[in-house]
Amino acid sequence: MNKLFTISLLLFFIFSLPSCKEKKEDFDRKPLLENIGNNVIIPSYKSAHEKALALKVAIADFNNWPEPQKLPALRATFKEAYLAWQAVETYEFGKGIAQAASLNSFPTDSAKIRNNALKGNYNLQAATNLSAKGFPALDFILFSMSDNDLINLIIDFPTAKQYLQDIADDISANITATYDNWNTSHINTFISATGLDIGGSIGILCNSWAQMTERSRRERVGNSLGYVGLISTGTINSKLLEGFYANQSKELVIANLQAGKNLFTGGEGVGFDDYPQVKEATFQGVPLNVEISNQYDKCIAAANAVSTDFKTALLNDKPKMETLFLELKKLTVLIKVDMASAIGVTINYTDNDGD
C-alpha cells in the first residue's frame, strides 16, 4: 500500500511537473498570427480596398456627369466605405503607420477644405492637410450641402471637382497600397515574428490595438461629451463626432467595435480568447477572455441603446452617451492593461525620450 502510494506519488510528480510548466511557456503563437493575419486582417483590408475603389469610381462618375439622382447612391457608397474602413483602422503598423491620421482625422477643417476646393494648389500628403482629406473631408463635402449647392460647386469650380476626386483617389490609393503590401510580403513578416520581444507581431499589434481602442473612447465619444482625458468638462460639442455631417457616428463606432471583437476572438479560428495566459488571468473573478469578449458586447449594446443618432443624443439622451463612454473606458483598460500584461507585452505607444 505504502509502496503503491509512493510510486503513484512519484509518477504524479514526474508527469505533472513538466506538463504544468510546458502549458505556460509553450503556447505556439504562429497559428494565432496566421489566423489573425489571413482570416481577420487581410479580409478586412480586402473589403476596405474594394469599397474605397467603388467610392473612387462613384465620385469620378458623379464628377463627369453631376446629376442629382446619382447623389443617394454616391452617399451610400461613401457610408459603406467608411464602415469598411473601421475594420482596418486598428492596424497602424507596417504600411499602415499613421493611416488613421491620414484617412480619418476628425473633426475635419471645413475652412481649409473650402480654401483647397476653391483655390486648388494643395499637397494632400503634407501634414498640414491631414484635417482636409480622408473620410471626414468627404463627409463634409458630400453631406454638408444641399444637392443643388454640391452640384453647382462641382460644375462651377474645376478645382473643387479635382479636389473631391483627389481625396477619393488618395483614400483608395492608401488602402490599396497597404492591402497589397499585406498580401505580398507583410503577411509573412507578421506571421514569422512570433516573439514577444520588441519587433514581435503580438507586441506591435497589441500596442496598435490598445491605442486605437483608446482612440474610440476619446475621439469617437469622449471629446463630443466634453471629456479631456477622463475628466468631464460638461461642455458638449457634437461637431467633434466622427461622421458628423452624414450623421453616421453610431454606426461607425459599432462597426469599429464589432471588428475589435472579431480580432479578439479570431473569428472562427484561433484568437486572443484562446491565448492560455488570457484564459488563466481573471478580472474580478471572471476569466479575462470571457470578460473582454463580454465587454465588447457591452460596448456594442451601449451604443445600440442610444436610440437616436449621437448628435441628437448629446442633446436629448446624454446619460446613454455617458454610459457608452464608461463602457469604452473599461474596454480600453482591459485591452491596454489586463490583456497586455497577461500576454506579457509592453505597451509603449505613449513613450518618448522624455524631452
Nearest to other proteins of 132, 306 (CB atom): 132
Residue 190 CA to residue 306 CA, distance in Å, equals 38
Does 98 help bind other proteins (rule: CB under 8 A)? yes
| Residue 130 or 321 having the CB closest to other proteins | 130
Helix axes 158-181, 147-156, angle to 10 degrees: 100
> Which of 7, 101, 111, 286 is close enough to bind other proteins by CB under 8 A?
101
DSSP code, position 23: H
Q: What are phi and psi of 125, to 5 degrees?
A: -85, -15
Q: Which stretch binds other proteins (CB under 8 A): 99-107, 216-224, 236-244, 304-312?
A: 99-107
Q: 302 with 184: CB under 8 angstroms?
A: no
- CA dihedral of residues 295, 298, 303, 307 (deg, nearest 10): -170
Does 121 bind other proteins (CB under 8 A)? Our answer is no
Residue 184 in the binding site for other proteins (CB under 8 A): no
Per CB under 8 A, the segment of 67-75, 90-98, 229-237, 298-306 that binds other proteins is: 90-98
Instruction: Tell me which of 128, 183, 188, 294 binds other proteins, using CB under 8 A.
Output: 128
**Residue 32, C-beta contacts closer than 8 angstroms, at least 6 positions apart:** 202, 266, 270, 271, 272, 274, 275
Task: For the CB of residue 108, give the shortest distance to other proteins in the complex, in Å.
Answer: 13
**Inter-CA distances, 160 with 14, 63, 138, Å:** 76, 10, 12
User: Which residue in the set 89, 92, 139, 242 belongs to the binding site for other proteins (CB under 8 A)?
Assistant: 92
Closest approach of other proteins to the CB of residue 247, in Å: 24
Least gap, CB of 123 to other proteins (angstroms):
7
* Distance separating alpha carbons of residues 135 and 26, to the nearest angstrom: 43
Q: Which of 125, 185, 304, 307 binds other proteins (CB under 8 A)?
A: 125
Q: Which is nearer to other proteins, 198 or 228 (CB)?
A: 198
One residue of 105, 172, 248, 262 binding other proteins per CB under 8 A: 105
Q: How far is the C-alpha of 181 from the C-alpha of 210, rounded, in Å? A: 23
Contact with other proteins (CB under 8 A): which of 57, 76, 126, 337? 126
Distance, in Å, from the CA atom of 293 to the CA atom of 290, rounded to the nearest integer, reads 5
| Residues near other proteins, by CB under 8 A | 92, 97-98, 100-102, 105, 123, 125-128, 130, 198-199, 349, 352-353
